[in-house]
Amino acid sequence: MIVTVTVNAALDRTLTVPVFQIGYRHRSSEVLTLAGGKGINVARALKVLDVPVVATGLTGGRTGTRIVEELTSEAILNDFVRIADESRTSTAVVDPTAGTYTEINEWGPEVAAAELETLMGKLHYLSRGADFVVLAGSLPRKVPTAFYAEAIRDLTRRDVRVVLDSEGEPLRVGVEAGPFLVSPNQREAEQLVGQELEEDEDFLMALDAIAEMGPRNVVVTLENGCFALLRFGRKTRRFRAFVPRVEPRSALGSGDVLLAQFLASVLEERSPDHAVRLAVAAGSAAVLELGAGRFDPHLAATLAGEVELAELQPARS
């Protein structure tokens, strides 16, 4: 079983608006409402892959109730902590004619220390039977920057493998706590290492630099692929993997699908190169779907045969 944790859960509304223009009135041709937040997106993808998963985190108010209802309607097992403040709503506008995707995200609720303690107690219980605990997404207001780091250290002491996928200072501090895997996107990885990443040598440097900060494994996700440093056993291997670019409908959540498929492959004891290949194929299939965490596994299986995978030499000894 995998447990996903979404501290800043959201109700995600995606509006499809052809020829979208700022300052004009529009009618949406399509509306999709889903429970959202990175941990929930990972849980949704794991559900598609038939991996047992429990989604937990914090939800509050009527919006929080709707988030839980949406998860239940998707048959995603969930066990959230109720908080006093209102959960956030996120709105995205997709313009298929221009190929643009515009996000408007609320800050999220204020969270009390007692509510965080309740969440940690729930994590202690749920993690007893978990192969992985995935800590994913931004932190709401009043949550300490070190929350993920403290959770990683606490769960690691309990022999739980922890995966971290966040951004900014919570990511930087969390990486130093030594998670099993960290999965930043390119922008987040650039913030961690303090420089832009363009060539293979840049990404190799970033993989090694991030690994030296504490995590055992590093996967830097891109819209159509990833760079990965993986320590399976005593051997460290570095990969670059890409799918020939598909015409994206929405890139939102593609990295969450990539991460879910990678973890599913680890549970199936796939080889590192095969795990990366399947993960990149799933992430690429996700850009063709509206709604984060959604993808067609049959299309992903087809795309797996088109993944260009290469094992790379270390950037430095």
Q: Tell me: the pLDDT tens digits for 280-315?
A: 999 999 998 888 899 999 999 999 999 999 999 874
A 10 A CB-CB count for 228 gives 27
Interior angle at CA 8, CA 194 and CA 285, nearest 5: 70
User: What pLDDT score was predicted for residue 316?
Assistant: 52
* 72-117 pLDDT per residue, tens: 999 999 999 999 999 999 998 988 888 888 889 888 899 999 999 9
Q: How far apart are the first and last CA of the chain?
A: 37
Three-state SS at 52: coil
Report the alpha-carbon distance of residue 256 to residue 1 in Å, rounded. Answer: 17
Asked if the model's pLDDT at residue 176 lies above 80, the reply is yes
- Pick the residue with more confidence: 32 or 245? 32
Structural domains of the chain in order of their starting residue, each with its CATH number: 1-179 (3.40.1190.20), 185-317 (3.40.1190.20)
H or E element in which residue 169 lies: helix 168-175
Report the alpha-carbon distance of residue 301 to residue 232 in Å, rounded. Answer: 24
Report the alpha-carbon distance of residue 14 to residue 293 in Å, rounded. Answer: 13
Q: Which amino acid, residue 252? A: L
pTM above threshold 0.85: yes
